[in-house]
Amino acid sequence: MDKILRIHMGPDKDPVCTETPLGDYAGLGGRAMTSTIISKEVPPMCHPLGADNKLVIAPGLLSGTSAAMSGRISVGCKSPLTGGIKEANAGGQGSQVLARLGYAAIIIEGKPKKDVLYKVVIDRNGARIIEDNSLRMMGNYDLVEKIKQEYDTATACISIGPAGEMKLAAATVAITDTDFHPARHAGRGGVGAVMGAKGVKVIVLDDTGMKMREPKDPEKFRAANKKFVEGLKSHPVTGQALPAYGTNVLTNIINEAGAYPTKNFMWGRFDNCSRISGETEAETETRRGGKATHGCHRGCVIQCSGIYMDKDGHYLSKQPEYETVWAHGGNCGIDDLDAIAMLDRLDDDFGLDTIEMGATIAVAMEAGIAEFGDAQAAINLIKEVGKGTPLGRILGSGAAVTGKVFGVERVPVVKGQALPAYDPRAVQGIGVTYATSPMGADHTSGYAVTANILGVGGKVDPLSSKGQVELSRNLQIATAAVDSTGMCLFIAFAVLDQPETFQALIDMINSFYGMNLTADGVAELGKTVLKSERDFNARAGFTSKNDRLPEFYKKEVLPPHNVTFQVTDEELDEVFNW
């Protein structure tokens, strides 16, 4: 990966693709690449949908290699949802293919002077941009089928659905998986709206004829990769629970812990959670001829994804993940797996963040737009978004906007972004992450559920404020570094518990690049990424007052533990004082 592809969309001239050397961005990958470029090149006060914002797509440092679990891709911009910096992360084949094509980043800048749609085609001969209005308002599924017929050697697509074209703040960027389904999404923060504002509907990738990226020390690299895989397979989470039941294995666990947000964060337990649990989901998938174990990209050894079939044995969606099952399930009082899978399919097709949309529908239900537990009503509301009706555009703008429009007080957002599937009153460490992450409420920014609930990497009492700031701080630093490698975040379970697996990861990076990185160096990388992100947000007008949870978490007790969020504002302000 020795070059950057810049796609200039106008309005000063017709769209053009140019290749540039890495320059100041040499040695960066994934989140480090996207956040550094956005921090340096995007005016913090610009309009997120304007010409001055940029969309950056970057594979990780180890993407395109034979390293296991290295297929994550980062998508960055100024977020139309939060108004701050955004990095949204996804699996699928895009990262591996883009890296093998030699690109460390794609930067889409400017804005078309005409109201037309474009596709970008990238292969071993370079990149070209083509006007194609026939793609207008196509869902992601029909879109990739059309692309596959037109470009039969294409190996991956990066695309937006109708929500992105409509520039809705909950819009995602879709990445095709190993089956060429547009089922992996850079979901959070409205990155799809920025791609839509640039007029780019799809990026078609074809790495036919391109070789795997080669390490500087192949022997040491292979040895480190082998040890890394052994560590992942021997850990009970990455080697047993996730392959068997996917991320939805957490439903029963979090519900039992009293931390499962139910009916718009009213309660911490959902009575019917067993009907939508990972165990039930895996049994349903297997019985119908789907798959309970599946990788979203080649080189995945955890295999936490799956294939969900409808009652007639036809493909409906990829396995709905824990966050999706919660958002469209317990959070909305819905206990029907088929309905949840349909909602997942619609979100993927329209290009919508399942977390944001599930939270938004729950807010709408609290407003009386629909009844809690009414699955068909939830499906109809998502279809409104896909149609672009006035109600649909409100919902597609996210939970914060929907709450304002309909006068709802309990709106679970930080920096305008909806909270994911862990109530911060019962998992206080994740509450610290939600409040302070530069990204807005985001569980993946510092997954304190590890020590608070799962006992991974130590144990910190989830109902107490003690130790939560340090826990979240350390996890946010580590996560920023992992997000820069292209590694799946789920490696953290093994890395936190097994020092030898962490060392194997460092050894892979060192043997590939000829570096002498240490554990301290990994931490410094994470700190550097967070510093650049927080600097951008500060220049965009963010202050410590934005690093707060909504007031109701401090005032309303959460059954069954009857607790409130206990971490003080003064403690939250200490998270980044390292």
Contacts of 336 (CB under 8 A, 6+ apart): 275, 276, 375
CA distance 529 to 181: 32
Report helix, strand and coil shares of the chain as percent, to nearest 5. Answer: 45, 15, 40
pTM over 0.85: yes
- Residue 111 in contact with residue 198, Cβ under 8 Å? yes
Helix (H, G, I), strand (E, B) or coil at 316: strand
Q: What is the pLDDT of residue 298?
A: 83
Helix (H, G, I), strand (E, B) or coil at 159: strand
Q: What is the pLDDT of residue 114?
A: 87
Reported as a single tens digit per residue, the pLDDT across 222-243 is 999 999 999 999 999 999 999 9
Helix (H), strand (E), coil (C) string for 110-153: CCCCCCCCEEEEEECCEEEEEECHHHCCCCHHHHHHHHHHHCCC
CA angle 339, 344, 346 (to 5 degrees): 95
CA distance 513 to 244: 35
- Residue 106 in contact with residue 57, Cβ under 8 Å? yes
Region 3-205: CATH code? 3.60.9.10
- Residue 378 in contact with residue 385, Cβ under 8 Å? no
Element holding 76 (H helix, E strand): strand 73-78
- Residue 120 in contact with residue 127, Cβ under 8 Å? yes
Would you state the CATH architecture of domain 216-245+425-578? Answer: Orthogonal Bundle (1.10)
Encode 529-558: b = buried (16+ Cβ within 10 Å), e = exposed. bbbbbbebbeebebeeebbbbbeebbeeeb
Q: Which residues of the chain have pLDDT under 50?
A: none
CA distance 343 to 359: 13
Q: What is the pLDDT of residue 241?
A: 94
Q: For the chain, give every domain's residue range.
A: 3-205, 216-245+425-578, 248-423
Pick the CATH number of 248-423 from 1.10.3260.10, 1.10.540.10, 3.40.630.10, 1.10.569.10: 1.10.569.10
- Residue 415 in contact with residue 84, Cβ under 8 Å? yes
